[in-house]
A = this chain, B = another copy of it.
Amino acid sequence: MSIQSAIAIDQGFNARTTSRAAPLMAQTAPTSAWDDALAPARPAVQFAPDSPIYDEGDDARTFYKVVSGVVRTCKLLSDGRRQIDAFHGAGDIVGLEIDGVHRMYAEAVSNCVLVPYRRQGLEAMVAADGQLAQQFFSYAMRRLARAQDHSLLLGRCTAIQRVAAFLLDHADERDIVELAMARQDIADYLGLTIETVSRTITQFERDGVVEMLNARRIRLEDREALEDLIA
Contacts and interface: CB of A to CB of B under 8 A. Distances in A.
Q: Which of A127, A133, A142 has the most CB of B within 10 A?
A: A133
Nearest to A130: B127
A151 B154 contact: yes
Nearest to A123: B134
Interface in A100-153: 103-104, 123, 126-131, 133-134, 136-138, 140-145, 147-148, 150-152
A98 interface: yes
A39 to B, nearest CB: 19
Interface string A186-207: 0010110000000000000000
Copies in the complex: 2
A195 to B, nearest CB: 16
A156 interface: yes
A131 B134 CA distance: 12
A155 B78 contact: no
A4 B164 CA distance: 38
Nearest to A84: B155
Given A155-B191, A191-B154, A145 B82 contact: no
Given A77-B157, A82-B156, A145 B191 contact: no
Contact of A143 (B81, B103, B127, B144): B144
A75 interface: yes
B156 A83 contact: yes
A218 to B, nearest CB: 22
A175 to B, nearest CB: 23
B231 A98 contact: no
A98 B141 contact: yes
Q: Which of A83, A97, A148, A191 has the most CB of B within 10 A?
A: A148
Contact of A130 (B103, B104, B126, B141): B126
A142 B104 CA distance: 14
Interface of A: 75, 77-78, 81-83, 85, 96-98, 103-104, 123, 126-131, 133-134, 136-138, 140-145, 147-148, 150-152, 154-157, 188, 190-191, 231
Given A75-B148, A155-B188, 6 more contacts: A78-B231, A83-B156, A98-B142, A123-B134, A133-B137, A143-B144
